[in-house]
Structure 1
């Protein structure tokens, strides 16, 4: 049994479907999950990562755990207690969804220090572990969906600064590979082509190429078959917008990444392609697959 936390999120939802399609026994969990959120045959349980007692029955009989790091609620988690409960339930392998910011923004309270503390708890847990550190998600542009639907416009800062954003479905596929037993995967021939080892590894996950907000807008327009006008926000305008749903330190670090990415944040990592055996999806491919959200 593989437990997937954050199972209704952009990565978790894809991961549940990917694992279920390969015949794995999956238990999906999140605070608001229901039967309509999971494929047939997937066990689902409502539980809250911030409430360890709600997780104990979810972990019972599981051998592997996908641990979503909590997103905006990460500061509410007790990762040591979560991992203790997982171990008591039988979990022997953990794949943690962390953040590239652990390495690139170590002084950031949200992107660096907080995520590092969760990673450290995983390393100390005594179970086999793999840590995933993605950069920006292609799905972050869901924030544009309302303006695209209503006025065919996108407003974003730093219109010509590119980052190698990654499709959450690719993160999910990497996680699925790390969660499954090697014996479950027909990789005898593939082993010669790529390194399948995940235990004790940190994988940095990015998309295949840099793409700017202006280029993302063009890709969305092509996917929808209609023009979309791009307007570049000032940093102050963007900050005011972010503060509606982000704490101030998170908003400031987010703007720093978007406007002045470090060389590491602008680097295309080879890890996703090495693990998947193919190039990760482009933003344009993500837009074509998810265009309905913007129509």
Structure 2
């Protein structure tokens, strides 16, 4: 049985569906989850990673665990790696032998950032030394970050963002879910770290255009200043996270602009494009 944490998110929801469609026994875990959030027949367990003991009902008898540590968790927890250690202890006690961790590219590209680098690195180290067969996934930016533009596109057919012509190889969360499913179900992934990106660099201006193409209507791009973008980010993320995010999207280091071959190596196909993501999710922007 495979346990999926973060089961109502952009990656977890798809991962649960993929596993269920493959007839894998799967349990979906999230802080607020009901049977309506999962495919028919999939158990839904409400649990909070900040309280590792709450995971016991889901982990009992499990073989594998998909572990997603959210930004909210790492910002709020006093000792994130210590809590993760307790989660891993609960997993081993329940019978888990394999773990797939959704980490972040920032662990290596922003090592001095407490929000992206040091905390993520300590969590990765806890997983590496857990005694479990581990696989670590390090994606860059998600195509689904474009949901932040949905309201302005619906209301005004406008996207506002900084650094309009800086490209990054954003990835489709569905591709992350497929790689995770492979690592959870197949042999040959233990001890591997996969850098996950899309197939090409895309800029905010290009992503806005792709949304417009999917709508069949032009979407106007408005370039924000750095200060304007920071003020907007501070409404929903801590200051250090906002600063690191602005550095990544405004002045990416070469590793953050590198297109990785890992998705294709694992799945046997190229990663999906942003345009494909926009077409599949265009209902959110209508």
**Alignment TM-score > 0.5, same fold:** yes
Give, in angstroms, the shift of residue 71 of structure 1.
2.4
* CA distance in 1 between partners of 2:52 and 2:133 (Å): 21
Corresponding residue number in structure 2 for 1:100: 105
Give, in angstroms, the shift of residue 57 of structure 1.
1.2
Corresponding residue number in structure 2 for 1:262: 253
Corresponding residue number in structure 2 for 1:35: 35
Give, in angstroms, the shift of residue 220 of structure 1.
0.3
Give, in angstroms, the shift of residue 51 of structure 1.
1.0
* CA distance in 2 between partners of 1:181 and 1:285 (Å): 27
Give, in angstroms, the shift of residue 74 of structure 1.
2.0
Give the 3-state SS of the residue equivalent to 2:65 in structure 1: strand
* CA distance in 1 between partners of 2:267 and 2:88 (Å): 27
Give the 3-state SS of the residue equivalent to 1:264 in structure 2: helix
Corresponding residue number in structure 2 for 1:166: 171
Give the 3-state SS of the residue equivalent to 2:254 in structure 1: coil
Corresponding residue number in structure 2 for 1:9: 9
User: Does residue 55 of structure 1 match 2:55?
Assistant: yes
After superposition, the CA RMSD in angstroms is 0.8
Of 83, 100, 117, the residue aligned with 2:122 is: 117
Corresponding residue number in structure 1 for 2:207: 216
Corresponding residue number in structure 2 for 1:198: 189
* CA distance in 1 between partners of 2:118 and 2:104 (Å): 11
Give the 3-state SS of the residue equivalent to 2:256 in structure 1: coil
| Runs (5+) with no aligned partner, structure 1 | 183-196
Provide the TM-score with structure 2 as the length reference: 0.97
Give, in angstroms, the shift of residue 124 of structure 1.
1.1
* CA distance in 2 between partners of 1:119 and 1:93 (Å): 14
Corresponding residue number in structure 2 for 1:188: none
* CA distance in 1 between partners of 2:198 and 2:186 (Å): 26
* CA distance in 2 between partners of 1:71 and 1:28 (Å): 19
What is the aligned length? 281
Gap change, CA 1:181 and 1:269, over 3 Å in 2: closer
User: What pairs with 1:134-283 in structure 2 (closer than 5 Å)?
Assistant: 134-182=139-187, 197-283=188-274
Give, in angstroms, the shift of residue 22 of structure 1.
0.5
* CA distance in 1 between partners of 2:136 and 2:148 (Å): 27
* CA distance in 2 between partners of 1:105 and 1:23 (Å): 39
Give, in angstroms, the shift of residue 141 of structure 1.
0.7
| Runs (5+) with no aligned partner, structure 2 | none
